[in-house]
A and B are shown apart, each in its own frame.
Chain A
Amino acid sequence: MTTAKEFLFPWPLGDYPEVHSAKRPWLEAVLMGLNSLYGASLTSSRPPTVEQKRVASFIVKSLELFWSWEEKIPASTFKDLFRVKGVDYRGEEIKLARYFNWPCMAAAFPEEVGSLPIEEFCSGGCLSYIHDFKQFLIPEDQKYLGRAPRTMVEDSDWAEVCAGLLRVGICSVLPQSALYHVGGRPLLNGLFAVSKNEVKDGLELHRLIMNMVPLNSLCSGFSGDTCTLPGISGFSAFYLYEGEIAVLASEDIKCFYYLFQIPRSWQRYMGFAREVPRELCPPGHEGWPLPPCIAGITYGVR
């Protein structure tokens, strides 16, 4: 039996006069790459056979697909990349946690933030998790609280950030004594931001991230329907007949993480590790035994 590698490789790089001269360097590059994968000498001095020309024409068609692109290789370097990105423990690229202030955050929130009761959007096991979260905490003897993560806001910006989060309804004020405690210590989470890569009125917009690692370490994770989420590899079986084309439509929901209001019973698990300025506290706070803190009333539940 003759296999493809016997009649194709090693592939001669030259003598494709029918290919536009601008595309020939790229064709050569692809053929050299394929020859390298084949593992033999880089090229052949013989003229291409009919079969080699036929397959090369397929590669030229592939080149044409990319030819229409107008994007250019950016001048940015690794130094630029690592100013905004890092690599996580799995080796994956992630955006770096940033300090934030209120003006950079405020423009990203639509007015619906924190206004939609989450129970109205859930059913089955998801609703049970929302209603009965206490049941999903890990056993008492396994609970451990490490150091509280940072709240990445400069002291000079903190009062304005608190006021903003309270005003739009993402957080409310809670006495620290009302928070969930493990071994006598309150459960405190962190806050930071990542860049949205958008600029509005000269301000770089940020996305607010609640660092709930401390809470997550105390409860069972909820996977819900995530196993049904499609990946791009699923499209490999997508097929269009000759004469058929694909027409696409798409919709996105704004600021999905912060639209939904969680039940008040969750708030004790969602405090942040920083004291709220007294002037933002509700009446009666003077009698609270511990300093007040802000706690989320929205959460990234999908």
Chain B
Amino acid sequence: MVKAGCHRVLAPGGGEQEIRRDRHLPVSKNLFRVHLDNWDQICKVDRALAADILGQPSNLQVAMREEYDSRLLPRHPKKAVEGSLCAEVQGALINGDAAVATAKPDKIMKYMGLAWELVQRGAATQRELQVIAGGLVYITMFRRQLLCSLNAIWRLIEEMSAEPPVVRWRLPREVKGEVIRFLSLIPLAYMDFRLPMATQVTASDASMTGGGICASAGLTAFGQVAQTALLRGDVSEPFEVVEVLTVGLFDGIGALRVAAEMLHLPVAAHISVDAAANRVVESAFPGTLHVASIQELTASTAQEWACSFSSVGLVSDRLVKMSAA
């Protein structure tokens, strides 16, 4: 609904400014994000020019307020932020001047205090340990690498499931050590928006039984082409488009989905039914939903899709004719 407000204010373009989970972060100078009842705007501006706009509502903000008024949506004036260098955005504290984002200071202090209480006491219930682990994971969102410093705590929480949650367990030395080590590394837990991009890309994955790592050594021909392509935010995007749900019956290698890609259709999702080459489809289109057999499709399956892809305006199981047309 708030998004629809942005749509009306920004129409006919402006979609390329939106930060969304399902799209790449735009490179635009003006960005906004909508999270349920909350709207935030982030503008990249020249430091020398910033003084003119600090403390003032932006043009888009004024337009949004008018839109709220016209729709009788009551604003929360105490929570409004106007042209500020520092603000809380979805549980993070963003400092636009220092170009960093951190966890909220009061939350960091809260979890530091509680973690220290457990370490000193030397014993904890499962609930207490879950609270600490959850708090520390929240802090790692600002420096993902810190996640690797938490291991033994998860094992202990799992082991504790064997007993009622009120039972207090003695904390093993390694869990206490992990918690103390984490507390000491908290000053590293921030996102640095000026950190230069590394030229080498690495990818790693691991399971309980194995792991692998690889690093890029250069660009392929495809990479060279991709390097010259436009980035999201370089060109105007419509705000709302009718998305397409492609349902590939006896999907083979996902030709329907390939056709949709070639036509640059805004595909919300692809459902691959009875595919002959699941791994090929999955490799090319990782978000694909697989249905093993056409006999599994029922009215309730269709209903589930309707609830999951509510912005879809066209469901297609045959795109070839359309593309030919």
A66 touches B187 (CB 8 A): yes
B4 touches A121 (CB 8 A): yes
B89 touches A254 (CB 8 A): no
The A interface is mostly helix, strand or loop, or mixed, namely: mixed
B82 touches A249 (CB 8 A): yes
A239 to B196, CA, bound (A): 8
B81 touches A253 (CB 8 A): no
State whether the Cβ of B258 lies closer than 8 Å to any Cβ in chain A: no
A227 to B269, CA, bound (A): 12
User: B44: which A residues are within 8 A, CB to CB?
Assistant: 240-241, 244-246
User: A26: which B residues are within 8 A, CB to CB?
Assistant: 187
User: Binary interface profile of A, 234-248, with partner B (CB < 8 Å = 1, else 0)?
Assistant: 111111111111111
User: B50: which A residues are within 8 A, CB to CB?
Assistant: 245, 247
B58-116 residues with Cβ-Cβ distance < 8 A to A are: 58, 60-61, 64-65, 68, 71-76, 79-87, 89-92, 94-102, 105-106, 108-110, 112-114, 116
State whether the Cβ of A34 lies closer than 8 Å to any Cβ in chain B: yes
Measured CB to CB, the nearest residue on chain B to A135 is B303
Most B C-beta atoms less than 10 A away, residue of A63, A74, A125, A242: A125
B257-312 residues with Cβ-Cβ distance < 8 A to A are: 300, 303-304, 306-312
- Given contacts A136-B307, A251-B39, A259-B73, are A246 and B99 in contact (CB under 8 A)? yes
Min distance, Cβ A40 to any Cβ of chain B, angstroms: 14
User: B159: which A residues are within 8 A, CB to CB?
Assistant: none
- The size class of the interface chain A forms with chain B is 35 or more
Measured CB to CB, the nearest residue on chain B to A232 is B92
Inter-chain pairs besides A82-B127, A125-B309, A246-B193, 15 sampled, C-beta below 8 Å: A32-B184, A33-B181, A77-B117, A86-B127, A112-B74, A125-B311, A229-B36, A232-B92, A235-B25, A235-B191, A240-B194, A247-B43, A247-B54, A247-B96, A302-B36
Measured CB to CB, the nearest residue on chain B to A111 is B74
A251 to B57, CA, bound (A): 10
A33 touches B185 (CB 8 A): yes
Min distance, Cβ A104 to any Cβ of chain B, angstroms: 19
B25 touches A248 (CB 8 A): no
Min distance, Cβ A235 to any Cβ of chain B, angstroms: 6
A71 touches B4 (CB 8 A): no
A244 to B47, CA, bound (A): 5
State whether the Cβ of A49 lies closer than 8 Å to any Cβ in chain B: no
Stretch of A184-192, A218-226, A281-289 lying at the B interface? A218-226
Min distance, Cβ B90 to any Cβ of chain A, angstroms: 5
A65 to B93, CA, bound (A): 12
Measured CB to CB, the nearest residue on chain B to A63 is B187
Stretch of B129-137, B216-224, B246-254 lying at the A interface? B129-137
State whether the Cβ of A21 lies closer than 8 Å to any Cβ in chain B: no
Cβ contacts A to B, 6 pairs, < 8 Å:
A73-B113, A124-B312, A231-B90, A240-B193, A245-B85, A249-B61
A234 touches B21 (CB 8 A): yes
Measured CB to CB, the nearest residue on chain B to A112 is B74
Min distance, Cβ B152 to any Cβ of chain A, angstroms: 13
Binding site for B on A (CB under 8 A): 26, 29-30, 32-34, 36-37, 59, 62-63, 65-66, 69, 71-78, 81-82, 85-87, 91-93, 110-112, 115-116, 121-126, 128-129, 135-136, 138-139, 220-225, 227-256, 259, 302
A248 touches B181 (CB 8 A): no
A223 touches B21 (CB 8 A): no
A259 touches B74 (CB 8 A): yes
Binding site for A on B (CB under 8 A): 1-4, 19-25, 27, 33-48, 50, 53-54, 57-58, 60-61, 64-65, 68, 71-76, 79-87, 89-92, 94-102, 105-106, 108-110, 112-114, 116-118, 127-128, 130-131, 133-135, 141-142, 144, 148-149, 157, 165, 177, 181-188, 190-191, 193-194, 197, 300, 303-304, 306-313
User: A259: which B residues are within 8 A, CB to CB?
Assistant: 73-74
A250 touches B80 (CB 8 A): yes
A248 touches B41 (CB 8 A): yes
B109 touches A229 (CB 8 A): no
- Given contacts A33-B185, A136-B307, A254-B74, are A248 and B94 in contact (CB under 8 A)? yes
- Given contacts A231-B90, A232-B92, are A62 and B187 in contact (CB under 8 A)? yes
Min distance, Cβ A67 to any Cβ of chain B, angstroms: 9
A249 touches B57 (CB 8 A): yes
User: A249: which B residues are within 8 A, CB to CB?
Assistant: 40-41, 43, 57-58, 60-61, 81-84, 87
A75 to B47, CA, bound (A): 40
A242 to B163, CA, bound (A): 54
The contact of A81 among B89, B98, B131, B308, by CB within 8 Å, is: B131
Min distance, Cβ B75 to any Cβ of chain A, angstroms: 6
Min distance, Cβ B232 to any Cβ of chain A, angstroms: 11
Measured CB to CB, the nearest residue on chain B to A238 is B193
A132 to B217, CA, bound (A): 55
A245 touches B303 (CB 8 A): no
Most B C-beta atoms less than 10 A away, residue of A33, A69, A256: A33
B99 touches A87 (CB 8 A): no
B80 touches A251 (CB 8 A): yes
The contact of B81 among A229, A236, A248, by CB within 8 Å, is: A248
A93 touches B40 (CB 8 A): no
Measured CB to CB, the nearest residue on chain B to A136 is B303
User: A246: which B residues are within 8 A, CB to CB?
Assistant: 42-45, 85, 94, 96, 99, 193
The contact of A223 among B54, B135, B307, by CB within 8 Å, is: B307
Most A C-beta atoms less than 10 A away, residue of B113, B190, B313: B113
Measured CB to CB, the nearest residue on chain A to B129 is A91
B42 touches A33 (CB 8 A): no
- Given contacts A36-B177, A91-B157, A235-B101, are A112 and B72 in contact (CB under 8 A)? yes
